[in-house]
Amino acid sequence: MSTKAVQKLTAREAEKELDRLAAEIAEHDRRYHAEDNPAISDAEYDALRRRNNEIEARFPDLIRPDSPSHRVGAAVSEKFAKVVHARPMLSLDNAFTDEDVTEFAARVRKFLGLKDDAELAFNCEPKIDGLSASLRYENGLFVQGATRGDGTEGEDITANLRTIKDIPLRLAGKPPKVLEARGEVYMSHREFAALNKRQEKEGKQTYANPRNSAAGSVRQLDPGITASRNLHFFAYTWGEVTALPAKTQWEMLQAFKDYGFKVNPLTKRVETIEAVLKFYRDIEGKRAALGYDIDGVVYKVDRLDYQERLGFVSRSPRWAIAHKFAAEQAETVLEDIDIQVGRTGKLAPVAKLKPVTVGGVVVQNATLHNEDEIRRLDARVGDTVVIQRAGDVIPQVVKVILEKRKRGAKEYEFPTRCPFCGSHAVREKDEKTGKEDVDRRCTGGLICPAQAVERLRYFVARPCFDIEGFGGVYIETLFDKGLLKEPADIFRLAKHPEKLNRALAERRAEMAAERRAASGKEEAKKSKKDDDEESKLVENLVAGIEARRTIQMDRFLNALGIRHVGETNARLIARHYDSIDALVTAMEGDGAIAELTEIQGIGEVVAEAIKDFFDEPHNRKVVKHLLGEVDVRPMPKVKTAGSPVAGKTVVFTGTLEKMTRPEAKAKAESLGAKVSGSVSAKTDLVVAGPGAGSKLKDAQKHNVQVIDEDAWLKMIEGL
């Protein structure tokens, strides 16, 4: 194993090493799984994967299609047991400007129906850049610790967390019977530097930044190693708690302190937006001297009853926001502008850059967004540019340094034809506003190979069919060979592994020939071992596909790649229709758009895009073929237990006095109700406040039950 520090690798060395690591890890996987005869220890295996990940973190452009990291956590998850979180672990929405923060506060006020001068306090906390963990205490004893994982399910790292001194094993004071304290595990700058020094001296891999090293240290199989890493923990939120000891975020943190947790000492409770923004600037000023990494600050509505009312939108609370620090910037040369075509035909200009390190990561590509942006920047090939990168956001070009422009640099001409299929690429005009779309799109639609490949890529991706190991190169190879034309083909191919085998073997031979041509060297002949590896690969692929023959309806809809229908809208639509057949049938009828727009959160534009999709015969065929291969499961009912309105259609009308309209809707939906804007024979319940008019009459006409706001609140009390 090469022992050169990851930070010191050149791009060429990194590429070579990733190649070697992919092969080596695959071989260990095979020995472990197929032969049950591992050649190395778990710790050594972990080290290989870690080194692979670290190199990839530094050189994201070199990530291989067959990288072991695509099988995220596959190996690790076999080693740590899974933990289903009693309450999901959520993430935060981001604010980047003062204005974003002001808007956040305004949204909160509006939702709660608070006047501008009504008191609204925020708890302001530094945003620690580490990894989040959930610590479960029963009767005051630490019983289980878990990583965040995908938010619903994490990994059991109890033994490792026990070694962290900031984590109490027994709580002080009078804690609730069950308490899940959540917070961030992090490593100080000093410890990070010392650790890397030790690692280097011992010829072991070094880490790119304190966050990676905290994560790597916690996910060790040997808790002894975690113990030697001197990690820290700040508590800042909670999961399941049998009896909340406080009424505000601030008091909760005080309670945490009393139980024996560390709470960030810079935390402040403030009562105005001016004070919130001042907090941000103060912390920004202290950032460099803190001794640990933070990547912003977090504002939380202080009152817990408000938090409760505000609830969540998809994965983030409405009551909190992360205000991120400005991105890190660097100067480099724009070597070329590449045009990529996405699944909706959008021509996306990508800046190909002379590799440069920004905040510890080597960047070679950055987005230029669109044609107007290139014009605004006046970016030309050969220019010296400033790029910036913030956290996990795609790097972008922010400025051209005109003084450094070479003479003769030509203005960039944005293509008006698709570079893949030659069709015209146009900027659509919005019929209503007459405004030109910022994106130029390929009009090739179904004939454009780039769009087809991207659609298929999207189909197998995480939030859609999530077919393990079926990304990147496979899609392209199978598409090029004509074996994969539409999504249903994926499932048809799984029944013919020999076809998959042949296609991949051909691809491998082609790649070897390319390498030979490039290096001028003969490569070793394909061995029996290669053959075995290949068939193992295909076996895994087939298993990955077969595992997805049953799929939940929201994922199915998302996978179809309908314009404007991503995860969130797919979920809203899937919740509304009882089955995929019901949706397909509904789309054939005249009332399709009207029914779609009745769904809370679905507007005209989205409804029309869905209808258009199902109006297109080719799409209907694609869906039909797919339904011949897979089973689509309807959505599980939300919180139906104990909810009197689950599955019912509710209409709110008139003036509501104790809650705002969006709040009423959000609450009803969280209890499994469908909230509609108009009363029909399908309505189950009308909640009417003073001033209710025509809807009340409609309710009488259709014989629908009508109740007032108080009766509604009584009905859902305690839920």
Q: List, by residue number, the catalytic residues.
A: 127
User: Nearer to ligand IVH by C-beta: 145 or 689?
Assistant: 145
User: Nearer to ligand IVH by C-beta: 127 or 548?
Assistant: 127
- Cα–Cα distances (Å) from 190 to 110, 223, 435, 630, in that order, read 45, 21, 54, 54
Q: Please identify which residue in the block is written with the tokens 């990530």.
A: 63
How many beta carbons lie within 10 A of that of residue 470, not counting itself? 22
Residue pair 18/64 in contact by the 8 Å Cβ criterion: yes
Residues 330, 360: Cα–Cα separation, whole Å: 11
Q: Phi/psi of residue 553, each to 5°?
A: -60, -35
User: Nearer to ligand IVH by C-beta: 297 or 606?
Assistant: 297
Residue 149 CB, shortest distance to ligand IVH, in Å, is 11
Strand 425-426 vs strand 441-442: parallel, antiparallel, or unpaired? antiparallel
Residue 90 CB, shortest distance to ligand IVH, in Å, is 4
Of 137, 141, 144, 132, the closest CA to residue 233 belongs to 132
E strands, 232-343, are: 232-241, 268-270, 294-301, 312-313, 316-317, 320-324, 328-341
- Cα–Cα distances (Å) from 433 to 351, 393, 430, 437, 643, in that order, read 31, 31, 6, 10, 43
Of 172, 175, 168, 173, the closest CA to residue 143 belongs to 168
Residue 294 CB, shortest distance to ligand IVH, in Å, is 8
Residue 256 CB, shortest distance to ligand IVH, in Å, is 12
How many Å is the Cα radius of gyration of the chain?
28
Record the tokens describing residue 644, joined without a space: 């009197």
Residues 183, 308: Cα–Cα separation, whole Å: 20
User: Nearer to ligand IVH by C-beta: 307 or 501?
Assistant: 307
Residue 328 CB, shortest distance to ligand IVH, in Å, is 18
Record the tokens describing residue 113, joined without a space: 């129906």
Residues 318, 311: Cα–Cα separation, whole Å: 6
E strands, 390-447, are: 396-400, 425-426, 441-442
Q: Point out which residues bind ligand IVH (CB under 6 A).
A: 90-92, 125, 127-128, 132, 184, 236-237, 298, 317, 320, 322
Q: How many CA atoms lie within 13 A of 105 on its CB side?
A: 26
E strands, 42-93, are: 82-84
Entry field: residues in the chain: 719
User: Nearer to ligand IVH by C-beta: 219 or 343?
Assistant: 219
Residue 669 CB, shortest distance to ligand IVH, in Å, is 19
Name beta bridge partners: 341: 347
Q: Which residue is nearest to ligand IVH (CB)?
A: 132
Name beta bridge partners: 82: 155
Residues 384, 204: Cα–Cα separation, whole Å: 37
User: Nearer to ligand IVH by C-beta: 298 or 379?
Assistant: 298
CA 687 to chain centre: 37
Of 345, 441, 322, 450, the closest CA to residue 393 belongs to 322
Query: Tell me, what amino acid is at 150?
Result: D
Residue 132 CB, shortest distance to ligand IVH, in Å, is 3
Residue 186 CB, shortest distance to ligand IVH, in Å, is 9
Residue 598 CB, shortest distance to ligand IVH, in Å, is 31
Q: Phi/psi of residue 85, each to 5°?
A: -70, 135
Residue 503 CB, shortest distance to ligand IVH, in Å, is 41
User: Nearer to ligand IVH by C-beta: 215 or 500?
Assistant: 215
Q: How many CA atoms lie within 13 A of 162 on its CB side?
A: 13
- Cα–Cα distances (Å) from 17 to 200, 522, 690, in that order, read 18, 20, 71
Of 242, 249, 241, the closest CA to residue 305 belongs to 249
User: Nearer to ligand IVH by C-beta: 151 or 642?
Assistant: 151
The per-residue b/e assignment along 280-313, b for 16 or more CB within 10 angstroms, e otherwise, is beebeeebeeeebbbbbbbbbbbbbebbebbeee
Of 508, 462, 455, 458, the closest CA to residue 481 belongs to 508
Residue 394 CB, shortest distance to ligand IVH, in Å, is 17
| Start-to-end C-alpha separation, the chain | 57
**For 114, which DSSP code?**
-
Residue 110 CB, shortest distance to ligand IVH, in Å, is 20
Residues 251, 264: Cα–Cα separation, whole Å: 13
User: Nearer to ligand IVH by C-beta: 318 or 576?
Assistant: 318
Residues 268, 123: Cα–Cα separation, whole Å: 6
